[in-house]
């Protein structure tokens, strides 16, 4: 169950990072609300998952999921450039996250 909570928390990390970029310094209401709710749930889930998962592994997986999803979202929406190298590096990051789970 801790791993499921950790993965959901990693997804929420991508949500809050994207929402944060849209708050314009916390001057826009709805992106700020989405940021506040998602960062709270993401951090709370991370804290809960770290009760059972070592902090180094848990944090690396949480950040890896958030980073991979955030950059993928940016590429899909056109906010970031897309290249074969960038996609390969994201896949490498995902592979590392999976490897951390398998070695736990």
How do residues 35-71 score in pLDDT, each as one tens digit?
A: 999 999 999 999 999 999 999 999 999 999 999 999 9
Q: How confident is the model at residue 104 (pLDDT cuts 50, 70, 90)?
A: confident
Domain containing residue 11: 2-103
- For residue 52, give the DSSP letter: T
**Of residues 3, 88, 77, 80, the one with CA closest to residue 46:** 3
Distance CA 70, CA 82 (A): 13
* Structural domains in the chain (count): 1
Contact 90/69 with Cβ under 8 angstroms? Answer: no
């Amino acid at each position: 169950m801790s791993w499921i909570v950790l993965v959901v928390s990693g997804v929420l990390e991508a949500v809050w990072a994207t929402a944060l970029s849209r708050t314009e310094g916390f001057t826009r209401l709805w992106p700020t609300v989405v940021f506040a709710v998602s960062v709270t749930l993401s951090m709370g889930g991370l804290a809960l998952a770290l009760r059972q998962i070592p902090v180094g592994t848990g944090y690396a997986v949480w950040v890896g999921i958030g980073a991979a999803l955030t950059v993928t979202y940016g590429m899909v929406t056109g906010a970031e450039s897309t290249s074969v190298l960038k996609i390969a590096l994201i896949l490498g990051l995902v592979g590392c996250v999976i490897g951390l789970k398998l070695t736990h």
